[in-house]
Structure 1
Amino acid sequence: MSARQNVLAVVPPHIGGRTSGAGLARLFPAETDVTVVEATDEDPAALRAARVIVTALAPVTAEHLAAAPDVALVQCASHGYDYVDASAARARGVTVCTIGSSGAEARNVAEQTFALLLALAKRLVPAHNALVEADWALPRLQRSLTELSGKTLGIVGLGQIGREVARRAAAFDMTVVYAGRRRAAPETEERLGGALHVPLEELLRTADYITLHAPLTDETRHLLDAERLALLKPTAFVVNTARGA
C-alpha cells in the first residue's frame, strides 16, 4: 500500500469499541504506509482519501461511496453485508468482502441465543422490572416460569451457528428439531442429541421455542410471515439472532 491508500473505519457509536480506528491502526507495523482514519455521517470528508472502507454494521450508502472516489474495497467486520449498498458498490467497481463465519462467532451467537431462551423461560426481564419498580412480584411471576428441559427447540437453519445452538440444547435435555435446505448427516444429527430434520411448517406447529439462524437471502427474507406465525402454539417463543429481515 502507498501512503494514499488510507483505511477508513466507519464506526457507529453503539459499537465503537468493536472496530475503531485506533484498534485497526494496531494491526499494521509502525513503518507501514497506511493511515487509519475514522468517519461518521457528520464528517464525510474523511472518506475522500480512502481506498478501503472498514465497517462494523454501520451503513455504507451510495453517498458514502460517492464521497470516496478512490475507494476500491468495503470490508465488513461481520458475516453479512446487507447494510452496504451492494448495487452502488457494484456500479462503482468496488469489491465488498465479509469475514465469513468463524467458530468464535458461532459460539458467541449461540450463547446469546441461549441467554435469550433462558430469559424467556425464567421471565428475567419482567422480574427485573418488577424489582426496579419496587413491585416484588415473585409469587405472581413464579406461576408463569417454565423449564427448557423437556421442551422442543425448533432451529431454522442448521449451519455452524445452528449446530452450536443444538449442542447446547442437548445439554439442557431439550428435544431438537430443525428445518433447512438439506438434511445433516446422520452422524451429525446423533452428535447433536438426535436432532430431527422436519419441514418448516411442522417445526412451527410443534416447537415450544424457535430460533432463527438462516442466512438472509431472497428465499428467507420475511420467512416468518403472518401465515407461518399463525401456525405457532399460543405459548411458543421466537428468538431471532439472525438478520432482522
Structure 2
Amino acid sequence: MAKYQGIRNEKQRYCCSKECIKAVLIFFNLLVALCGLAVCILGVWLLLSRRNYISVLTGEMFFLSHFLLTACGGLIFAFAVLGFVGIFLNRIRLLSVYTGFLVALLIVECAVCAIGFVFAGSLQTRLQESVKESLLNRYRIDPDVTRAVDRLHSELKCCGSVSWRDWRESAYYWNNSRATTTEESHPSNIFHQGCAVRMAQQLYLNLLAVALCALGMAIVLLLSIVLACSLIHTLRELRLATK
C-alpha cells in the first residue's frame, strides 16, 4: 500500500511539473510562431517593395536574400505548428525533432548575423560599384535597367551612384546633348545625393531592425529549447513512473 501511494505521489508530482512546463512552453512556442510569421511577412514586403530595382541594379544576391528570408519565416512557422502538436499530444519524438530544429535555427541565426555584420562594412562600396556600372554602361541600352534606374531615382530622390556627377561619365550623357545642357546649366533641378548612399542607408536600417529582431528571437529560442528539453525529460520520467 505504501509502495502504491509512493508511486501515485510520484506520478502526481510529474503530472504537475508537466502541466506547468507545457503552459510556459506553449507561450514561448507561440512567440516562435509569431516571429516566423513576422519574418515571412517582412520577406514578402521586401520582395514586393524592391523587386523593381534591387535585383536589376545589384544582381540577384539581395533579391535571393529576401527570398530566403521569406522561406525561413515559413519554415519557422511550420516547425512551431509541429511543436504545438508535440506539446498537446505529449509526443516525445515530435518534441525531439522540434527541439533539434530550434537548436539548428539558433546556430544558423548566430552565424548569419555574424556574417551580415562582417559584410556590412563593404555594403556601400559594393552598391556604388553596381549602380555606377548600370548607369555608365546599361542605361538606355537595357530596358529593364533603364526602368529600374528611373524608378530608383524617383522613389529615393537621388541621382547617380555617389552623386549626380556620375552621369558625366556615362555613354547616355555624352550621346544626349539635352541631358548635357540640363546638368551643366541647371544643377539645382536634380537631386544631389547618390542613390548608392540612399540604398545603403535603407539597408543599414533594415540590418539594424533584423539584428534587434534576431536578438529577441534568440532569447525566445533559447528559453524554448530549455523548456522543450525539460518537457521531454518529464514525459520520460512520467512513463517510467507509470510502468
* TM-score bin (small chain): under 0.3
Please, what TM-score do these two structures have when normalized by structure 2?
Answer: 0.24
User: Larger % of helix: which?
Assistant: 2
User: Larger % of strand: which?
Assistant: 1
Please, what TM-score do these two structures have when normalized by structure 1?
Answer: 0.24
* Larger RCO of the pair (alpha carbons < 8 Å, separation 6+): 2
Larger radius of gyration: 2
